[in-house]
Amino acid sequence: MSENALLQVQDLRKLFLVDKKPFSRQATYLKAVDGVSFSMPQEEVLGLVGESGSGKSTVAYTVIGMYKPTSGKILFQGVDISTGASGRPLSIKKDLQIVFQDPGSSLNPRRSIRQIIERPLVVHRMIRGGNTRDAVAELLEMVELPPDYMQKYPPYVGGGERQLVSIARAMASKPKFLILDEPTSALDVSVQGKIINTLIRLRREMKLSYLFITHDLSLMRNVADRVAIMYLGKICEIAGTVEFFQQPLHPYTQMLLSSIPVISDQEEGLKPKHIAPRGEIPSPVNLPSGCSFHTRCPYVEERCRQEDPAMKELRPGHFVRCHLAC
């Protein structure tokens, strides 16, 4: 693992108990995250992409401390934070913030926008002395909302504006690292661009790092420095964004990329040969043997059904989990 990494995630596993018979030792677990490792330096945007149920939010909630890992390690600035939120120093909570997918449920409807943004200012002692009004106005200005929004309540502003309030709240503690869990997917298409542009600007101005979770692969082309693809709780490919889009090596990545819209003939030429999506994502309660993608992979061989491929660095910084990729 890199020594100057801001965030290091090592062999992270998160299992959920889904069934336990009374008076029996037998229990069924769902493997939501199954051995995820990645490392992020400062000021990097890593796009974490995958289909619904692949484990993206579970990675996010475990890193932020809402879940305790079943096993594995999470280090932030070299400090072990694998213990969950309760064991974390306040300085780590200050530097590591999250913006959730649905601002409607992540903002308390009975609190004014001023109260919502004020809270982290107070908790993290960002204000010396009494009046927080100017600091709240400054944070609203940072996300291009007028100061009079502080008197409003979340249910009475638009979805895009609610998400801007969530971003202002996350920025209140002047964090170094933001987890963005599908920050635009619950919003109307007309406001998604504004949220993305705000996040890109803030990242540049405040020298932030983002773990940017999305199922929209094409969005990552313009936002991420590196892209990681998740499938059934595992990362199956991770590479720098340019190489990722020009030379995808994992059959699942190729399948995803071959079906995204492009804006020019040149881009069409760069797309991998079309791999028609096959089958449904299997249940994480009953994972396929060997390579978990084997039930959908057009190149499957007997070995793929038996052996789970290890992650290999096939080009500098380009890691792939597939027996056949080279």
Residue 57 engages ligand ATP in binding (rule: CB under 6 A) = yes
User: Taking a C-beta distance cutoff of 8 angstroms, is the pair 9, 37 a contact?
Assistant: yes
Judged by CB under 5 A, does residue 58 bind Mg ion?
no
Site string for ligand ATP, 279-318 (x = CB under 6 A): -----x----------------------------------
Contact between 297 and ligand SF4 by CB under 6 A: the answer reads yes
CA atoms within 13 A on the CB side of 206: 24
- Amino acid found at 81: I
Q: Which amino acid does the sequence have at 134?
A: D
Reading the block at residue 220, the tokens are 């990552």
Choose one: 34-42, 51-59, 148-156, 169-177; the region binding Mg ion (CB under 5 A). Answer: 51-59
Tell me the pairing of strands 312-315 and 318-320.
Answer: antiparallel
184 binds Mg ion (CB under 5 A): no
> Can residue 309 be called a binding residue for ligand SF4 (CB under 6 A)?
yes
Q: Which does 245 bind (CB under 5 to 8 A by kind): ligand SF4, ligand ATP, Mg ion, none?
A: none
Instruction: Find out whether 11 and 311 touch, Cβ atoms under 8 Å.
Output: no
The residue from 67, 177, 210, 293 that contacts ligand SF4 (CB under 6 A) is 293
Rank residues 11 and 301 by Cβ distance to ligand ATP and give the closer one: 11
Binding track over 236-255 against ligand SF4, x by CB under 6 A: ---------------x----
Check: CB of residue 236 under 8 Å from CB of residue 244: no
Other CB atoms within 10 A of residue 141 CB: 12
Candidates 7, 34, 13, 9; CA nearest to 284 is 34
Helices (H), 158-310: 159-171, 189-206, 217-223, 241-246, 251-257, 265-270, 302-306
Q: Which residues bind ligand ATP (CB under 6 A)?
A: 16, 30, 32, 50, 52-58, 215, 284
Judged by the rule CB under 6 A, the positions of this chain that interact with ligand SF4 are 251, 291, 293-294, 297, 299-300, 304, 309, 322-324
